[in-house]
Amino acid sequence: MTSYRLHRPEALRALTRAMITAAGWSEDEAKETAEHLVLANLSGHDSHGIGMLPLYFNSLADGNLKPQAKLSIRTEAGPFLIADGNVALGQPTARNAVDRAIVIARVGGVAVLNLLDSHHIGRIGHYSEVAAAAGLISVFWVNVAGRPPIVAPFAAKEARFGTNPIAIGLPVPGGEPLILDFATSRMAHGKARVALNKGVDVPEGYIIDGEGRPTVEPRHVFAQEGLPLGALLPFGDHKGAGLSLIAELLSAGLMGAARIDQKPHKTWIINSLFGVLIDPARLEPDESLRQQRIESYLSFVRAAAPQDPSQPVLAPGDKERATRIERERDGIPLDDETWSQIVAAAKAHGVDAESF
């Protein structure tokens, strides 16, 4: 099993900013990317943290990701915002689009956003948190294209979907928001990458190999010379598979953006996002009533007797907030393999990762 060491969050933010600017992006783009990636690590979602940087830099080296690419607006009329991501660096591109949609929703009560063909936009729950901080309800559907399919439909022995995540955010007046964020596969592909780098197995029932047989070895969902690619399984059988199909069509299929079945390129990760943002004040203008109604129900849910007294019943977002407190205090763990990949990517652009 691979060992790991702890890193200070502020050091990882500084390193990420240095790497991104050294590769040709602006300070603002670097800052947004660093904040996003390190917050994912702090939240316990290492699959979407700075371990993604080597993949981004591989895409940069292959010419698939270009610092010159920027967001462009196709349509902005009434509640509708359709934006072309132009395969630009994902975190600042998606944040730009979501921020624009927030302005629309604040003015008119609702915004419908379709961001097409961005590079990997990261943890989708991040954008629900951004919307919730602005006082808005949000629902986001995302596809994953530019790579071969990696998730099998229900009852299939080969992949046809991406991990196609969905996020829903609900602001709580005077309190922490509810943030529900999940891949439609039983585990995110990035979590399989983390398991592979750590040298550990994944739970049973999460992966099949290239012959469709159950396996606990994460290597089967990564390309290996001479071996057919396996697949992640959808969560909830037909339920997760159905949600994945809908996410593909809503985010990309209807507008003609890149789909999982079209021209995969191994160093691309292309996301399209479909989102609806709603001002809850248009549903219930009395903020105190909204607060009371939400908190009373949350209290009812959290008061359920736990199966394990050491594991209390949680609401969406509780675990991430607790993990942030712990990792801000103790540091972010990165396994040796992930860190060595980051060090190599940084060195290629004249940045000494070990100095941070």
Helix count and strand count (H, E) for the chain:
10, 12
What letter does residue 83 receive in the DSSP assignment?
A: E
Within 10 A of 274 (CB to CB), how many other CB atoms are there?
Answer: 24
Q: Where do we find the tokens 């240095």?
A: 18
- The pLDDT value recorded for residue 190 is 80
- The pLDDT value recorded for residue 59 is 94
- The pLDDT value recorded for residue 1 is 58
- The pLDDT value recorded for residue 227 is 86
- The pLDDT value recorded for residue 225 is 81
Q: Which residues of the chain have pLDDT under 50?
A: none
- The pLDDT value recorded for residue 264 is 64
* Residue 111, beta-bridge partner list: 277
Which runs of E-coded beta strand occur in 133-291? 137-145, 166-170, 178-182, 207-208, 214-215, 231-232, 270-278
- The pLDDT value recorded for residue 266 is 64
Nearest alpha carbon to residue 33 among 95, 86, 87: 95
Report yes or no: 162 and 154 within 8 Å, Cβ to Cβ.
no
Exposed, middle or buried: residue 87 (CB in 10 Å: 0-12, 13-18, 19+)?
A: buried
- The pLDDT value recorded for residue 138 is 98
Which runs of E-coded beta strand occur in the chain? 4-7, 72-77, 80-84, 110-119, 137-145, 166-170, 178-182, 207-208, 214-215, 231-232, 270-278, 332-335
* Residue 149, beta-bridge partner list: none
- The pLDDT value recorded for residue 356 is 94
Q: Where do we find the tokens 């390129």?
A: 265
**Distance, CA of 41 to CA of 11 (rounded, Å):** 13
Q: Where do we find the tokens 């063909």?
A: 117
121-158 burial string, b = 16+ CB within 10 Å, else e? bbbbbbbbbbbbebbbbbbbbbbbbbbebbbbbeebee
- The pLDDT value recorded for residue 17 is 98
